[in-house]
Amino acid sequence: MSRLWEAARRGNRAARPDGRPADGGGGPNPLQILRRRFHAGELGSVPVVLGLLVVWIIFESLNKNFLSPRNLSNLSVDIVGIGMISIGVVFVLLLGEIDLSVGSVSGLAAAAFAVLNVRHGVPEPLALLVAVFAGTAIGAVQGFFFAKVGVPAFVVTLAGLLGWNGLMLYILGYSGTVNLDDKGLVAMLTSFYFTHVAAAYGLAVIGTAGYFLASYQDVRRRRAAGVPARPLSEIAVRTGVLAVMSLAAAWVLNQYQGLPLALLIFLVFLVGLDQVLRRTRYGRMIFALGGSVEASRRTGLNVGLVRISVFMVSGTMAAIGGLFLASRVTSATQTSGTGILLMDAIAAAVIGGTSMFGGRGRTWSALLGVLVIQSIASGVALMGIQTAVQFMITGGVLLLAVVIDSLSRRAQRAHGRV
């Protein structure tokens, strides 16, 4: 296990401590830490946050409705479907692999739910579970061919992109569209809001307090173990920034309809799966495998099982994302899961900071990346600009994110950290 832990630490460099002595003595201040991480290629999510701010400033200067409570509230719901899919993509990218089938799987899940519930009268909760488990099963099948048969993940999931899309069209039949009950369970996923002001503010306070307590406990554990830990000053700064941002977001949401249920569910998945990646043995195995397959195999790690499980996570999250996308339009159609959905889901993970080389990333990458992509889409729509411009801007941002990732790895290699 010690060798496995070392491999995981080599793989997940984004979460490295700043090097401050474990005894809690006088360490560098936050500005010094930021400067050191800049030169070492360990900026983490700083570039994407700055990029998001630039996008918001530009579109707000062009259209004063961009940062209006109504538009930001709609944006908070629009990001959920793609964001859920992107979380699953993060897991796959951590292995240094790719899943091209997530768009088709999301469309198939939406179609399966709609047909079961609307055409065959299956109760919504049961139909929803079947749709989600279908995504899990698809992930297991694809993972098996990749991990056990040895077919490259690119080929397996490319075949899935075509095959599952064809199955979706077959299930929908000649009509091509199945409308959902606009008062039903799935429709409420994106239409229900907690209108009391205490809901949004309470979530902001609980989230901030939870972050501080988790960070503080992490520092105590590290110091007790005699390993480097973040200085308390850095934790205080991070907590303060998070408090300001979360309370501001709560205020904006309360100016419109309140806290969206979809956003709450999305945040629960983000936090829960982030804990899985960072706090569990399973998460350490994923990072270790992404850092070095051979080293992980020599430690006794069951490489095939981990690979299959990761694709199962990807398929499950794709199915959940597909249900949220269907909820947004209250229907399942032949275009579900098609178009640029696949590219948006992958781009969101990469733009948010997940490395395409494997071994580095967090579920929060999905949130940051999808915020950038959907902000661009929202701004372009408000401006009445052609969709082609949106594609070009998103493509440029994606290229910039990969360039930053490549330069970061080069800097880390120069410092002997890769």
Residue pLDDT, tens place only, 75-102: 999 999 999 999 999 999 999 999 999 9
pLDDT score at 25: 43
pLDDT score at 11: 46
| Residues 111-136, mean pLDDT to the nearest whole number | 95
pLDDT score at 225: 82
Measure the CA–CA gap between 274 and 267, rounded to whole angstroms: 10
Predicted confidence band of residue 418 (pLDDT cuts 50, 70, 90): low
Predicted confidence band of residue 300 (pLDDT cuts 50, 70, 90): confident
pLDDT score at 249: 94
Tokens 């897991």 sit on residue: 91
Q: Residue 335 CB: number of other CB atoms within 10 A?
A: 12
Tell me the residue ranges of DSSP E strands in 195-335: 259-260, 331-333
pLDDT score at 338: 84
CB of 315 closer than 8 Å to CB of 137: yes
Of 103, 174, 130, 112, which Cα lies nearest the Cα of 335?
103
Of 27, 7, 14, 9, which Cα lies nearest the Cα of 230?
27
Q: Taking 80 as the threshold, does the pLDDT of residue 32 lie above it? A: no
Would you call 357 helix, strand, or coil by DSSP? coil
CB of 11 closer than 8 Å to CB of 296: no
| Residues 42-57, mean pLDDT to the nearest whole number | 79
Of 375, 376, 377, 350, which Cα lies nearest the Cα of 365?
350
Of 347, 327, 317, which Cα lies nearest the Cα of 135?
317
| Residues 369-377, mean pLDDT to the nearest whole number | 91
pLDDT score at 30: 53
Measure the CA–CA gap between 345 and 315, rounded to whole angstroms: 13
pTM of the shown model: 0.87
The helix or strand, by DSSP H or E, that contains position 8, with its residue range, turns out to be: helix 2-11
The helix or strand, by DSSP H or E, that contains position 379, with its residue range, turns out to be: helix 364-383
Q: Taking 60 as the threshold, does the pLDDT of residue 27 lie above it? A: no
Residue pLDDT, tens place only, 202-240: 999 999 999 999 888 888 888 888 888 888 888 888 899
CB of 129 closer than 8 Å to CB of 386: no
Higher per-residue pLDDT: 201 or 47:
201
Query: CA-based angle 146:150:154, to the nearest 5?
Result: 50
The separation between the first and the last C-alpha atoms of the chain, rounded to the nearest angstrom, is 20
Tell me the residue ranges of DSSP E strands in 352-410: none
Predicted confidence band of residue 17 (pLDDT cuts 50, 70, 90): very low
| Tokens at 330, concatenated | 């209250």
Residue pLDDT, tens place only, 310-354: 999 999 999 999 999 999 999 999 888 888 899 999 999 988 888
